[in-house]
Chain A
Amino acid sequence: MFKLKLPQRIAAWFFLLALAFANLYPIGIMALSSLKSTREIFMKPFALPAIWRFSNYAEAWQRAKFAVYFKNSILVTTLSIAAIILVASMAAYVIARFEFRGRRWLYLYLIAGLALPTRLAIIPIFLLMRSLNLQDTLSSLVVVYTAGGVAFSLFLLVNFFKKIPRDLEDSARIDGAGPFRIYWQIDLPLLKPALATVAMFNFIDVWNDFFFPLIMLSSNAKKTVPLGVQAFFGEYTVEWHLLFAALNLAVLPVLAVFLAMSKQFIAGLTEGALK
């Protein structure tokens, strides 16, 4: 798009690398500090660890009861993603493939959720969960995330469904397949990459969410990772080696998924923002 001369290129690289450094340095410090003793973090903040204390992780894992939080987060995230994908892809299929009265209004009604931050509706959601006897349960989170994830996922998936050529479906229809079978046996397998993108976005959102667990959950045994990290920070304010280790543990799953799928992630992001 631009053609830069050599001095301009050097300046461009300078700024780009400066931003990359600003992005990575705090995270690098977080990783290094998690392997030091608290004394070392205070006294030699910039140095590499004198001894690499991987035991900090074991200590944080146990003291913060991370096993429980991870189990809860994995459960909530997996169930929410599965539910969002199923619910949103079924609706996206009908909206993308069939003409019916009110189709456009229904679609607009559903994606209006992109402009409605669910957390503004937290009081009625909280009361609703209470009357459904779902207070302080992980199920309440799965329900909220699924409902809240419909708008964005539907929005992405309708576009993907429209890209599937109809000929493929037509031959199945001649063989007598109904709409659900066409959706399930022909379209869904073709949509695997799109579903992976939807799953990834929802994974990051659900795994990282703090607000709904904070409101919905009260018992320790139900806490998810971000809420657990918060509790841990309240308890161990001076043992920084544990705090840093806890932060790293909370970040690790997201980091792994993001690095493994960064290409699809960036493609999906720009698709969602521009199309």
Chain B
Amino acid sequence: MLKRTMFLMLLPAVALYTLFVAYPFASSLGLSFYDWAGIGPKTFIGLDNYRNVLSGFMSTEFYRAFNHNWVFFFWSLVLSVVPGLFFAFLLAANMKGSGWLKVVFFFPNTLSIVVVGFLWSLLLNPQWGLVNQLFKAVGLGFLAHPWLGDMKLALPTIIFVTAWRGLGFYVLVYLAAMLGIDREETEAARIDGATETQIAFRIILPHLMPIIATTSILKFIWTFNIFDIVYAMEGSQGGPAGTTDVLGTLFYRIAFGGLGSSQTGMGLGATVVTLIFLVVFPVSILYVFVLEKRVERNA
């Protein structure tokens, strides 16, 4: 009786998760060995899709997008961790009246990524956008650029907008980790004559390494899945001229349209997804390892 009730209470979660999360990952791998347009005949073609993506007709686009994901990861990590730590340190001083800032800093994080993308594409409009008008108004007109239309500036601009939305998360997580550090250690150092800067770098920063690692892992997993922000600001082609194309948009074009009919395919799309997964998987394992340690701690 007890066993049956327990089983029935676990069943919905396990079944839904297995059918719509776990199984689709396995199924994607299977599909990547087929040539299939989603309807009609399904032909087994072995590793042909992988050849096409890695060294064949899709390879130029694939490596370009892959490269953009790495650039995106590196810079958005720098733009999250460094200012994230900096502002967390400032908030940790716990100055009177600084509590409301936490709410303000986190606020952009609650906005939908597409809304953020559309908002900034209006603000960054070359002619009427606020950003360029601001530069012109203060006599810095030479800084006005067609941010999203410039092949060199478009990717950095999107990375910047992503950082604008995401920074608050890092500030709050680092702050919480700092406040969890044992006070005695910092107090003892202060009595021994350490300056606040020394305390920050020599005592607090080392304690934050695990959480910095965890947030970097999450950043990696998220970055190899980005799609919305590029789609909202530069469209599914990752314009201008593919300079902002990422694996997410490339995959979307292949699997769900936007390319010529001969290139559209679920099999080829599944191949790109499987390759993304191969990149993300080792990092995911690392994250599960981190989670497992927490499970043990809380058990």
Contacts and interface: CB of A to CB of B under 8 A. Distances in A.
B10 interface: yes
B5 A180 contact: yes
Interface residues of B, number: 107
A151 B22 CA distance: 11
Nearest to A148: B21
A98 B107 CA distance: 39
18 contacts: A1-B183, A2-B200, A15-B86, A20-B101, A87-B13, A108-B288, A111-B288, A115-B221, A115-B283, A116-B25, A119-B225, A122-B24, A158-B298, A230-B114, A258-B110, A262-B103, A273-B214, A273-B215
Contact of A147 (B6, B17, B287): B17
Given A23-B107, A104-B295, A208 B113 contact: yes
Given A120-B273, A180-B9, A2 B108 contact: no
B263 interface: no
A71 interface: no
Contacts of A143: 16, 20
A270 B172 contact: yes
A208 B108 CA distance: 12
A233 to B, nearest CB: 6
Contacts of A148: 20-21
A194 interface: no
Contact of A243 (B118, B228, B266): B118
B29 to A, nearest CB: 10
A138 B221 CA distance: 28
Given A16-B101, A87-B16, A117-B280, A208 B112 contact: yes
Interchain residue pairs A-B with the least CB separation, the first 5: A121-B24, A270-B176, A208-B112, A147-B20, A124-B24
Interface in A15-42: 15-16, 19-20, 22-24, 26-27, 29-30, 41-42
Q: Give the residue among B31, B114, B225 with the most A Cβ atoms within 10 A.
A: B114
Interface stretch (B46-54, B61-69, B120-128, B141-149): B120-128
A57 interface: no
Interface residues of A, number: 101
A100 to B, nearest CB: 7
Q: Give the residue among A114, A121, A154, A179 with the most B Cβ atoms within 10 A.
A: A121
Given A1-B94, A121-B25, A210 B104 contact: no
Interface string B193-205: 0001001100010
A162 interface: yes
A22 B164 contact: yes
A188 interface: no
Given A125-B24, A243-B122, 4 more contacts: A143-B16, A226-B114, A273-B173, A274-B180
Interface stretch (A48-56, A59-67, A164-172, A248-256): A248-256
A266 B12 CA distance: 29
A29 B292 contact: no
B140 interface: no
B191 to A, nearest CB: 12
B87 A179 contact: no
Contacts of A42: 128
A109 to B, nearest CB: 8
A151 to B, nearest CB: 7
A265 B288 CA distance: 24
Nearest to A246: B118
Contacts of A74: none
Given A30-B119, A226-B112, A107 B10 contact: no
A208 B287 CA distance: 25
Nearest to A183: B9
Contacts of B106: 262, 265-266, 269
Interface string B151-183: 000000000000010011100110011111101
A225 to B, nearest CB: 8
A127 B256 contact: no
Q: Give the residue among B89, B90, B108, B168 with the most A Cβ atoms within 10 A.
A: B90
B239 interface: no
B93 A1 contact: yes
Contacts of B98: 16
Contacts of B82: none
Contacts of B114: 208, 210, 226, 229-230
A19 B17 contact: no
Contact of B28 (A123, A151, A229): A123
Interface string A178-207: 111001000000000000000000001001
Contacts of A13: 95
Contacts of B255: 122-123
B93 A12 contact: yes
B282 to A, nearest CB: 11
